[in-house]
Structure 1
Amino acid sequence: MPTTITGLALLVVLLLPGLTFVMIRERKGSERRTTPFRETGVVVFCSVLSEIAVLVVFAILRGLRPDLTPDIGRLVREGAAYARAHYVELAWWAGGLLSLACLLAAVAAAITAGKPHSSVTSAWWVMFEKWFPGENPLVGCILENGAYVEGRLASFNVSSDDLPDRDLVLVEPLKYRAPGEAETHDFPWGATCISARRIVTMFVSYPVEQGAEAEVEVLQASGPAAS
């Protein structure tokens, strides 16, 4: 850990873009937890890439409009004397470049977070997000006691590990079949939360697209019944 203010500032500059990348990917995606060493490597690697890209942009601006950018040559040669004389300008540029690096990392995370490989995601993520992203599928669950619950998917735990300690939320129209019964009945409630630990089998029915539905109607109209 850094023991000086300068060291702490350098640590923040180095890690903040990568930390932004990791946090956004965790919120928008589903990937298996890695070792601390690998996760630290991802943070540092993303930070370095983002900051290199920002420095390239700064170098281009410096070449085009040197009057608008700090004189890096003088900063290197004069050091603290130049920094004290132009501390406001340097602070604004440092904050702006760091913010731009974080923005680049956030955009990269948002673009890549929704497309994790199936090998690093859970079965729930594959069924609910990978195959038909953004849909609102109908989900039916057979529980360990033989009961059956059906409803529209509202939310699910995006953890990449297929663990029993997570929940699935279904909303109306809800249907329920008690253990030992043969008929499924409407359940007059707005939502239900089901523990993954109690689920034995899950069925998922995806909404039919309008184009596909229209095609089905045309085929039915032109079939034997239409004649």
Structure 2
Amino acid sequence: MPTTITGLILLVVLLLPGLTFVIVRERQGSERRPTPFRETGTVVFCSVLTELAVLVAFAVLRGVMPGHTPDVGRLVREGTPYAQVHYVELFWWAGGLLSAACALAAVAAAMTAGVPHSSAMSAWWVMFHKWFPGEDPLVGCVLEDGSYIEGRLASFNVSSDDLSDRDLVLVEPLKYRAPGALETRDLPWGSACVSARRIVTMFVSYPPAAEGEGEGEGAPASSSVAS
């Protein structure tokens, strides 16, 4: 850890674009749990790569418009005296370049969020997001006590691990069949939370595709998964 203000600032500058990449990617894709070494490597690698790209762009801009950009050569040769005279210009340019690097990292994260292979994702992720992203499939769950509940998918835990300690939120129209009952009845409630620990089998039915639209890669019209 840095022990001076200068070292702390340099650490933030180095890691901020990479941290932006990781945060945006987590929001756009399934939650994965990489090792600390791999996550640190991702942050550092992305930060260095995006900042190098921004510095290259600055060098090109410096060559095109030398009178409107900071003189890096003088800054290196003169150091503090040059910085004291042009501190406002240096501050705005440094902030702009760092913001550009963070924006570039965010764009890269958004573009690569859906890249992970299905084998690395949970069964829930594959059924609810990969095959028909953005849709509201109809989900039916057979629970361990023999009951059955059905409704439209509202949200689900995006962890890449098939964990039992997670929940599934269904919204109306909700239907329920009690253990041992033969008929399914409508529920007068707006939503229901179902624990994955209690689910034995899950059935998923997708809205019919519009004419001319293809189905998701490898996706059937309906599917099921056992927990």
Same fold, TM exceeding 0.5? yes
For 1:3 and 1:189, the matched residues in 2 are separated by 57
Q: Using the alignment, how far apart are the partners of 2:30 and 2:83 within structure 1?
A: 44
Q: Does 1:141 align with 2:179?
A: no
Q: Does 1:121 align with 2:121?
A: yes
| CA distance, structure 2, for counterparts of residue 180 and residue 115 of structure 1 | 44
SS at structure 2 position matched to 1:210: coil
Distance 1:130 1:102 in 2: 27
The answer to whether the aligner puts 1:112 opposite 2:112 as a matched pair is yes
Shift of 1:202: 0.3
Q: What does 1:66-215 correspond to in 2, within 5 Å?
A: 66-211=66-211
Residue type of the partner of 1:77?
A: R
Q: What is the identity, as a one-letter code, of the residue corresponding to 1:102?
A: C
After superposition, what is the alpha-carbon deviation per residue over 1:174-198, rounded to whole angstroms, capped at 9, x for unaligned? 1100000111111111110001111
Contact 1:31-1:120 at 8 Å conserved across structures? no
Instruction: Give CA deviations for 1:115-134 in whole Å, capped at 9, x if unaligned.
Output: 32212211100000001111
3-state SS of paired residue (2:103):
helix
Find the counterpart in structure 2 of residue 219 from structure 1.
none
TM-score, normalisation: structure 2:
0.91
| Higher relative helix content | 1
Secondary structure in 1 matching 2:211: helix
Change (3 A) 1:212 1:192: farther
Aligned length: 213
**Offset of 1:210 from its aligned partner?**
2.6
Instruction: Tell me the alpha carbon deviations over residues 122-160 of structure 1, each in whole angstroms, 9 at most, x when there is no partner.
Output: 110000000111111000000010000000000001111
Correspondence for 1:45: 45
Q: Give the letter for the 1:49 counterpart.
A: L
RMSD (Å), alpha carbons: 1.2
In 1, distance between residues paired with 2:182 and 2:163? Answer: 30
Match of 2:28 in 1: 28
1:32 CA displacement: 2.5
Structure 2 unpaired stretches of 5+: 214-227
State the structure with more CA Rg: 1
- Single out whichever of 29-38 and 17-26 deviates more from structure 2: 29-38
Q: Please tell me the residue identity of whatever aligns with 2:101.
A: A
What is the CA distance between 1:9 and its match in structure 2?
A: 0.7
- Contact 1:138 1:204 survives alignment (8 Å): yes
Q: State, as a whole percentage, how many aligned pairs show the same letter.
A: 79
What amino acid sits opposite 2:20 in the alignment? T
Work out the CA distance in 1 between the residues paired with 2:154 and 2:177: 20
Runs of 4+ in 1 over 2 A off after TM superposition: none
The superposition leaves residues 34-80 of structure 1 with CA deviations (integer Å, 9 ceiling, x where unpaired) of 11011000000000111011001101110100011000000111111
Q: Is the 8 A contact 1:137 1:204 kept in 2?
A: yes
Contact 1:167/1:193 (<8 A) preserved: yes
- What is the aligned partner in structure 2 of residue 220 from structure 1? none
What are the superposed Cα offsets for residues 83-104 of structure 1, whole Å, 9 maximum, x if unpaired? 1111111000000000000000
Letter in 1 for 2:56: V
Give 1:13's aligned residue: 13
Q: In the aligned structure 1, how far is the partner of 2:117 from the partner of 2:173?
A: 32
Q: Distance in 2 between matches of 1:4 and 1:33?
A: 32
Residues 210-225 of structure 1: pairs in structure 2 closer than 5 A: 210-211=210-211
